[in-house]
Amino acid sequence: MEASLGGTLVNCAGGPTPWGTWLSCEEIKTNASSSEGKKHGYVFEVHPEAERTSGRPLVGLGRFSHEAVAVDPRTGIVYLTEDDRNKAGLYRFIPNDRFGRHGSLENGGRLQAARVRRKPNADLTVANIGDSYWLEWVDIQDPDMDSIAAPAGFPDIGSGDTLSGPFAQAWAEGCLRMSRGEGIWYAHGQMFIVDTATGVDSQGRPGRGEGAVWVLDLYSQRLKALFVSGNPLAGNNPDNITVSPRGGVVLCEDGGSSPDNYGPGARLLGLTRRGESFYLCKNNVELTDSQIAGADKVVAEGDYRSNEFAGACWDPHGRTMFVNIQTRASLSRSPAPGRAADSEPRAQTRTAPLGAPLRFGSCDGRAPAQASCGASSVSDSGGWSPTVHSRSSA
């Protein structure tokens, strides 16, 4: 294993390209360095072979707090989300080079922001299932513009907040705003877009709710709310998203612990075509000193159940989904159960009846060799089959 990209800050979800590279997103709009350092807030293309990664920022894709990207394989257009509370736009980049290959995005293009037709500065921070809008797109003249102070009276933000340069230009042209754009995924001619904080909190403040999933039809440019969570049980701030080859939507929660009938813990959720959520997996990781010592690990004891799922994706054959848990890494002093002496991971499989909760860990949800799993997977062969293949991280 070797590093493919360095010198970046606060890299977040990003997304794959149809030509086999990864677009890594900086989720920051400040430089966090001296005036002589590099600017930040960009997207970078990463090649699987480290020596082929240029490390050049894709300035044309905009400078803002990027969360994720998704590429329409038919057109090569890149769609981007912005994670900046209540001042987040929805963007797309139309590349000059439409052939779609490694390095082609470095040849420039046009950054555009979404605007709702006949509804200037549409506010999507609060929504209901079924809400729909028709979008049009507005050119951003300076994708690399620095952030600016929010104008007086800009709604639902804190004093002293700033707008990213692209969003400031978009807002001036009547473009929409979301609460906090997170995951985005292409599937079957549509973009599935997560806004992690759609709704209101207990004080009635917009853009601080439990989140929503929007679907953008790329042919008609109709944006529709597929899912809106009304409470943490239905969905606790979804973040990353993926779509199975058969169209099943999977969400990774990022709202901390979600108490329910199975106890607290972050969850992996599925969505039905009607926009109803269901539990797929639950983080049940708790580690004690005695468990860690028994497994010969080096990791802090604690309750890790609130740590989020992230990075859900399918294998190239569309039969297995992999997902990570954002948690502390654990180190092993010697080969542990589930890992061979040559450090190759061995799959550990558990099954449960359809609809039953799946908890990461051992059969009792606590053995550290499995509890600190780095990746897990769910079969998608012939229905939502809750078979989990977890790989120990030690």
Mean pLDDT of the chain, nearest integer: 83
CB-CB contact of 12 with 83 (8 Å): yes
Domain boundary among 142, 177, 198: 198
Phi and psi (nearest 5°) for 292? -65, -45
pLDDT for the residue 322? 92
Residues 191 and 274 both lie in one domain: no
Determine the Cα–Cα distance for residues 267 and 264; give it in Å rounded to an integer. Answer: 9
As given in the structure block, the two tokens for residue 334 are 């010697």
Domain boundary among 198, 221, 250: 198
Q: Is 61 helix (H, G, I), strand (E, B) or coil?
A: helix
Read off the pLDDT of residues 183-204 as tens digits, 9 standing for 90 and up.
Answer: 999 999 999 999 999 999 999 9
* Full residue range of the structural domain in which residue 240 is found: 231-394
Read off the pLDDT of residues 13-27 as tens digits, 9 standing for 90 and up.
Answer: 999 999 999 999 999
pLDDT for the residue 340? 34
10 in a domain, yes or no? yes
pLDDT for the residue 335? 37
270 in a domain, yes or no? yes
Determine the Cα–Cα distance for residues 251 and 237; give it in Å rounded to an integer. Answer: 9
As given in the structure block, the two tokens for residue 372 are 């600190």
Domain boundary among 149, 175, 198: 198
364 in a domain, yes or no? yes
Domain count along the chain: 2
Residues 178 and 311 both lie in one domain: no
For the chain, the C-alpha Rg in angstroms (whole number) is 21
Q: What's the angle, vertex CA 379, arms to CA 374 and CA 385, rounded to 5? A: 120
CB-CB contact of 287 with 340 (8 Å): no
Residues 23 and 148 both lie in one domain: yes
Polymer length in residues for the chain: 394
Residues 257 and 178 both lie in one domain: no
DSSP 157-199: --TT-EE-HHHHHHHHTT--BBS-EEEEEEETTEEEEEETT-S
As given in the structure block, the two tokens for residue 41 are 């807030």
Nearest to residue 224, comparing CAs of 126, 112, 128? 128
**pLDDT at 106 > cutoff 90:** yes
**pLDDT at 325 > cutoff 70:** yes
Residues 81 and 141 both lie in one domain: yes
Residues 84 and 158 both lie in one domain: yes
**pLDDT at 387 > cutoff 60:** no
pLDDT for the residue 203? 95
Residues 171 and 235 both lie in one domain: no
207 in a domain, yes or no? no
pLDDT for the residue 357? 39
31 in a domain, yes or no? yes
With pLDDT > 70 as the criterion, what percentage of the chain qualifies? 82
Determine the Cα–Cα distance for residues 278 and 181; give it in Å rounded to an integer. Answer: 22
Residues 6 and 99 both lie in one domain: yes
pLDDT for the residue 327? 72
208 in a domain, yes or no? no
Read off the pLDDT of residues 247-306 as tens digits, 9 standing for 90 and up.
Answer: 889 999 998 777 788 888 999 999 988 889 999 989 888 888 888 888 887 888 899 898
193 in a domain, yes or no? yes
328 in a domain, yes or no? yes
| pTM for the predicted model, two decimal places | 0.84
pLDDT for the residue 256? 79
Determine the Cα–Cα distance for residues 202 and 230; give it in Å rounded to an integer. Answer: 12
Determine the Cα–Cα distance for residues 198 and 238; give it in Å rounded to an integer. Answer: 10
Read off the pLDDT of residues 63-105 as tens digits, 9 standing for 90 and up.
Answer: 999 999 999 999 999 999 999 999 999 999 999 998 899 999 9
Residues 173 and 52 both lie in one domain: yes
The counts of H helices and E strands in the chain are: 3, 27
Q: What's the angle, vertex CA 264, arms to CA 203 and CA 253, rounded to 5? A: 65
Question: How confident is residue 362, by pLDDT bands cut at 50, 70 and 90?
Answer: very low
Residues 187 and 305 both lie in one domain: no
CB-CB contact of 213 with 239 (8 Å): no
pLDDT for the residue 318? 81
